[in-house]
Amino acid sequence: MSSTEFTEPDVPPPTDSADSTESPTAPTRRTFIATTTAVGGAVVAGGFITGSTFIDAEGAEAGEAAPSSRVSLTVNGSRRTVTVDNRTSLLDLLREHLDLTGSKKGCNAGACGACTVLVDDRRVNSCLTLAARLEAAEVTTIEGLADGDELHPLQQAFIEQDAFQCGYCTPGQIVSGVGCIKEGHTGSPEEIREWMSGNICRCGCYVKIVRAVEQTAGRK
């Protein structure tokens, strides 16, 4: 046996006999594991997690409906009216209710930019934006950039510059790049990098992403 391997000691299980050195009430390794497993199970049984929401057991038993709102907004040029749980993010509204799965859920915490969409022409992390607050808003997602079969110039530039590998961050990068160009933050590669810094690419395609934005902004 290697010195790093670990096995259960070859001894009988502890008993409550009088000559035991352990207190009858002291937890053994086995009782500790059994107790923590039971407690963990009770915690899980006490409530359930659905996507980004947590519903407590009491509310679920009582059959209480979570507070919801009716919201009308325009998504990629189409008017949509939906009733959503007030805690629903714009990202979940797009992906789960409207079947627009182009916007990606990376961190779901505002740190990666994979979920970037435009709301009234401004870049937002849709995972941090409450859908219920978007009455009358205009939302543009990656699905809304092409004109029929004709790609948006930045989509075309991403292909020409080979600005992606796995592609997971790409929808967010492209929507963010469109926002960056509209905002006029394309004066230099450094400026583009700065204003695209909220969009993380784990494949490290930053140089080519910046080139694609530059190309679209008319610098090349």
Q: Tell which positions 113-132 bind ligand FES, by CB under 6 A.
A: 113-115, 125, 127
Q: Residue written as tokens 């492209």?
A: 174
207 touches ligand FES (CB under 6 A): no
165 touches ligand FES (CB under 6 A): yes
Which of residues 76 and 129 has its CB atom nearest to ligand FES in the complex?
129
Q: Tell which positions 89-108 bind ligand FES, by CB under 6 A.
A: 105-108
- Token representation of residue 203: 């494949």
Rounded CA Rg of the chain: 26
Among 65, 132, 121, 119, which Cα is nearest to 93's?
A: 132
* Burial of 14 from C-beta contacts in 10 A (0-12 / 13-18 / 19+): middle
201 touches ligand FES (CB under 6 A): yes
Which one among 154, 164, 181, 212 touches ligand FES, defined by CB under 6 A? 164
Q: Which stretch binds ligand FES (CB under 6 A): 10-18, 19-27, 45-53, 165-173?
A: 165-173
Q: Tell which positions 9-68 bind ligand FES, by CB under 6 A.
A: none
Tell the smallest beta-carbon distance from residue 91 to ligand FES (Å).
Answer: 6
110 touches ligand FES (CB under 6 A): yes
Which one among 66, 146, 203, 207 touches ligand FES, defined by CB under 6 A? 203
Which one among 38, 111, 146, 159 touches ligand FES, defined by CB under 6 A? 111
- Alpha-carbon torsion angle 170, 126, 135, 101, nearest 10: 50
Number of residues that bind ligand FES (CB under 6 A): 23
Tell the smallest beta-carbon distance from residue 196 to ligand FES (Å).
Answer: 12
Tell me the three-class secondary structure of 131-188, residue by residue: HHHCCCCEEECHHHCCECCECCHHHHHHHHHCCCCCCCCHHHHHHHHHHHHHHCCCCC
Under 8 Å between Cβ of 132 and 71 = yes
Ramachandran bin of 120, using left for φ above 0, alpha for ψ from -120 to 50, beta for the remaining angles: left
Binding site for ligand FES (CB under 6 A): 105-108, 110-115, 125, 127, 164-170, 201-203, 205
